[in-house]
Amino acid sequence: MSSQPNGAPTVVTGVIGSDTHIVGNRILSMSLEKAGYKVVALGALTPAAEFVKAAVETDADVILVSSLYGQGELDCRGFRELCVEAGLDDILLYVGGNLIVGKHPWETVERMFLDMGFDRAAAPGTRVETVLGWLAQDLAARRRAAQAAG
């Protein structure tokens, strides 16, 4: 795990693909900063490769991908593989929003994204506090695993 010298984990955020829905992502970024995370906010219309590039350049611990226009399934295909190719094998990957077109049970949508290699998938309407809780839990688990291995 690659937390910054001040101990604050680095999180890359952005809205993937051709999506311009930025308000929720900005609220999440501001909440992360308030909670003590270093945030690298990429904004809207961000290709998957730009998330990975930013994560490499900033030695990020987590990438949070947002999508509201229903094309997340297409935009996020191969995302984990891009991370692995860039040497980010152990980076945490979260995705959230209105990820696919049509009405589908959330469990089905969530399973789709977990199978793509995302660690967490947030349903529309997920509260910021929930995401902050997931981050704390997942980063603590990574620290414990790193300490046990090293």
pLDDT at 150: 77
7 confidence band (pLDDT: 50, 70, 90): confident
Q: Provide CB contacts within 8 A for 94, sequence distance 6+.
A: 62, 63, 64, 65, 118, 119, 120, 121, 122, 131, 134, 135
Q: Is residue 70 part of a domain?
A: yes
**Which listed residue (21, 59, 61, 119) is catalytic?**
21
Mean pLDDT of 15-41: 94
CB 93 within 8 A of CB 63: yes
* 124: phi then psi, degrees, rounded to nearest 5: -55, 135
Is 114 a residue whose pLDDT tops 90? yes
Greater pLDDT, 4 or 25: 25
6 confidence band (pLDDT: 50, 70, 90): low
pLDDT digits (tens, 9 = 90+) for 29-82: 999 999 999 999 999 999 999 999 999 999 999 999 999 999 999 999 999 999
Does the reported pTM lie above 0.85?
yes
Q: Is residue 2 part of a domain?
A: no
**DSSP three-state, residue 39:** strand
Q: Is residue 141 part of a domain?
A: yes
Q: Is residue 5 part of a domain?
A: no
Q: Is residue 3 part of a domain?
A: no
Nearest 5°: the CA angle 104, 108, 110 is 110
Enter the tokens of residue 101. 């077109």
Is 136 a residue whose pLDDT tops 60? yes
Q: Is residue 130 part of a domain?
A: yes
**Which listed residue (19, 75, 89, 90) is catalytic?**
19
For 30, the domain range is 10-149
Catalytic site residue 119? no
Q: Is residue 135 part of a domain?
A: yes
> How many residues does the structure list for the chain?
150
Q: Is residue 137 part of a domain?
A: yes
Catalytic site residue 21? yes
Mean pLDDT of 124-148: 95
CATH at 33: 3.40.50.280
Domain count, the chain: 1
